[in-house]
Amino acid sequence: MAKGLFVIYTGNGKGKTTAALGMAVRALGHGYPVTVIQFIKGNAHCGEHNLTGPFAGLLQFHVTGKGFTWKSENLDEDIALARTAWEMAARTIAEDKARLLILDELTYLIRYKMVDEDEILSAITGRPAKMNIVVTGRHASDKLIAAADLVTEMTEIKHPYQQGIPAQKGVDF
């Protein structure tokens, strides 16, 4: 029997969400149910949101934030949205609703103390035996890293923004 893994994609480089979504495509290709919960992102439509149609019944996609918190005019509302989204994630884990659960930008909830880290770790480490959980975001905490089975740090070496090239549909969103 395969053991469900806890995977983290962190670091300042691009590609954390992209790597997690690559795992989603792989899991969907095997007919496994996948749930994606995006915590902070939310104010722009991304190409991956269009995947729910072709994979109806297998892919659940939840965009729960309203944009990046550092642009927020109402941090209390952001915290409430993050808390509600975390409750959804905890239910998904407890109810064993997905073979792969992607918690996109979850690291920010811990970094900004929106949700208690020990509560998050308890749910992740107590996941069902076959459930794989992927957490993305910069600044993964030492506790998260210690609990994970696989951690990859994305390191920026060169980025198109540095050359004045804006984010592109199909590549960045």
| DSSP, residue by residue, 88-133 | HHHHHHHTT--SEEEEETTHHHHHTTSS-HHHHHHHHHT--TT-EE
- Model confidence at 150: pLDDT above 90: yes
Across 75-159, the runs of DSSP E, i.e. the strands, are: 100-104, 132-136, 150-153
Q: Can 153 be counted among the known catalytic residues?
A: no
Confidence label for 63 from pLDDT (cuts 50, 70 and 90): confident
Q: Can 83 be counted among the known catalytic residues?
A: no
**Per-residue pLDDT tens digits for 75-112:** 788 888 889 999 999 999 999 989 999 999 999 999 99
Among 12, 43, 74, 125, the active-site one is: 12
Domains and CATH numbers, the chain: 6-43+62-153 (3.40.50.300)
**Per-residue pLDDT tens digits for 21-60:** 999 999 999 999 999 999 976 556 666 766 767 777 899 9
Q: Can 70 be counted among the known catalytic residues?
A: yes
